[in-house]
Amino acid sequence: MLAFAPLHDAVSAAGTVLSWLTTLLEPLAGGGATAAAIVVLTVAVRLLISPLTLAQVRGERRRAALAPQVRDLQRRYAEDPARLQSELFGLYRANGANPVAGCLPALLQAPFLLVMYRLFTTSDGGTGLLAERLAGVPLGHHLGDGLTGAALPLFGVLLAALLGLAWWTSRRMRRAAVATGTVAGTPTQGPGAATLGRLLPLLPYTTVLVALVLPLAAVVYLVTTTAWSALEQLVLRRPQDVPAAGGIDRR
């Protein structure tokens, strides 16, 4: 369905890199070399797109610094949603904190994520990936194929890790919404904002649901990239002193 030429070529290239990494790691990882190669390749991709994450975090900090002014505007124009939106975007634009820009890093990550997904769920990479094993379980094994032998504890550990990461990420999303006075770039007051504020923190849990229908190789990838995202949040989004209005950090 998605196997048009540019995507197929990109997945084939990623498969070649994965094969090389597997050979490189085999003396150290033995039978788990392919799984280890998945982890290394995933981390390499996340490092490649890390500048986008840095730009996103800087935008979030600028919006956090504007939170008192945002709350003031929400009080003043609570009865006039159109005027409130206009004033908010004017405030963000004047301080270089356009909320829409925060979505761009995620959009630009999509091509990388699509290639990785195809590599770990199809044979497009030409590496025989899904026939390799981790702890005796084929990397192409799905939960629907059964939970006999090592499959039950292996999937159990991976799903528990995803669930813990989802809980931690959801908690931080709620705190960020309170700190910035916005939910995904929109005011926390107004039509639909309350519903949006309740739904967005639930999004991290979709990784657990997705993992239920993916092969083991893709679940390993999903745990790795989710753990990397959590590490980025811990390091890049650690609490900092918020500059006073008019002294916003523009680094």
Asked whether the beta carbons of 155 and 201 are under 8 A apart, the reply is no
pLDDT at 250 over 50: no
- DSSP H helices, 30-137, are 33-48, 50-65, 67-76, 81-94, 104-121
**Confidence at residue 8, expressed as pLDDT on a 0 to 100 scale:** 81
pLDDT at 249 over 50: no
Per this entry, what is the length of the chain?
Answer: 251
Domain layout of the chain by residue ranges: 5-236
| Model pLDDT for residues 89-98, shown as the tens digit of each residue | 888 777 776 6
| Model pLDDT for residues 148-169, shown as the tens digit of each residue | 889 999 999 999 999 999 999 8
Percent of the chain residues past pLDDT 90, beyond the cut: 18
- Across all residues in the chain, what is the average pLDDT? 78
**Confidence at residue 245, expressed as pLDDT on a 0 to 100 scale:** 45
**Confidence at residue 154, expressed as pLDDT on a 0 to 100 scale:** 94
3-state secondary structure 157-194: HHHHHHHHHHHHHHHHHHHHHHHHCEECCEECCCCCHH
| Model pLDDT for residues 112-147, shown as the tens digit of each residue | 777 877 887 776 665 567 778 898 898 888 888 888
**Confidence at residue 220, expressed as pLDDT on a 0 to 100 scale:** 92
Q: How confident is the model at residue 243 (pLDDT cuts 50, 70, 90)?
A: very low
pTM for this prediction: 0.74
Asked whether the beta carbons of 40 and 233 are under 8 A apart, the reply is no
